[in-house]
Structure 1
Amino acid sequence: MLDYETEAARYDETRGGVPRAEAAAAAVLRLLPPGTRTLVDVACGTGLVTERLARPGLTVYGADAAHAMLRTAAGRLPGRAVRADARHLPLPDASVDAVSAIWLLHLVPFTGRIVAEAARVLRPGGVLVATVDKDTAHDVGSDIDAVLRPHRAPDSGSDRAGLVTAHAVAHGLTPAPGTSFTGHGQGATPRGTAEKLRRGYYASWFHGTPATVDRLTTALAALPDQDRPRDAPDYRLALFVKR
């Protein structure tokens, strides 16, 4: 997992910046029920998405465990950014209308605990909105995908939709139709993908040997247009309603 204390300074510019943040925020807002008054964006990072969720009548808070991320978020969310682990939110039971978790669940091995905590703080009728299947959304149908897909471990990824849904149902949340949005600026390049593979970035779904990594990076290096980004991914947002 990345060190988000050191990553904060360059996070926005390497993650699609404002266009991706605006697309994510718009997708979250599409899923909020009428009358939603409070939303907590867990693992809000720099707050680039979070600040774009605010609307008249909707108060939005950001929570993140990384000091450096939160310092940036605090400037975008004055008085509404708190340091907190997504597994231990400083909120009473049944106290908020919505919880969002954007680009979080694929990073952690404790998806169930985050979903359980969201369920705890949601009021009846409140919603959890979360990205699912993030890594598998990348490079679909591309030459990069053709190299990597045969090596994706089955049923892998801590944010796979089936797993998140199972946790949600176990904690009193009912699945509802979600939506999707474009991950602007996140199209992969063969060179960048090979580097990520060497660094273990895909550990959530790839469990190959060092020899396999060498073989795949060689195959990626043979692809044309090494630094041309492939198509931007379409990210999925799942929606769950508190019973």
Structure 2
Amino acid sequence: MKLNEIFPQELVQAKAGIDDITFHQFDGDNIDDIVKMKESCMFELGGTIWDKHIQVTPNENPMKLGPHFQTGNPYLFKEASKIIGEDTIKDISYTYAETKNPSIDHSQFSQLLIAVLHQNILHISDIEFANPLQEIPEKERKFTFQSHKGLGLFGDLIANCITFCKQESLNKICLTAADIDLVPFFEKHGFLVDDSPTGRMGMAHGGSIPMSKVL
């Protein structure tokens, strides 16, 4: 299994309820394109890489990359790599599904940004599996960032992640809950809030909460 095959393309095709779907995939050879499309996610990924490095390297000055955090540098991962001494992103894949159907407002309706990090971690940076035909009325939305009914594919995604991790000898799957209301959902799939200063801070502030599933 390749990294981009973790995205359950056939299931998205089958469950989306529309025929006019195009899938776009980008990998490590297109990382500059990924950065352009996903600047905030790549900045957050760099922050995650640096935070996890700090957790296992207590003598490191945590403020060494301060200027890059202040500017929201989407290439923060490269600056971290210079200090850590190796490429911190070993592999990366960004996939998204879109429809050109003019009657559908939510045209880019499913996506996955996922990366293999240097600490034997598979990190999910952005994920959406939405049904473009079923918008949820605002008053009925359970999750802060969910505007459309899901396709019910998160379990399939995690199963693919586990298969990939076993194949590549990775020992952990990580993600960041954008809002505290997502924590129970991820907990149902075996993720736990990181027992770290960043995890506790995220819970206290109600967002950007790092979670991990140990394999």
- TM-score norm. by structure 1 comes to 0.35
- TM-score norm. by structure 2 comes to 0.39
Considering Cα pairs closer than 8 Å and 6+ residues apart, tell me whether 1 or 2 has the greater RCO: 1
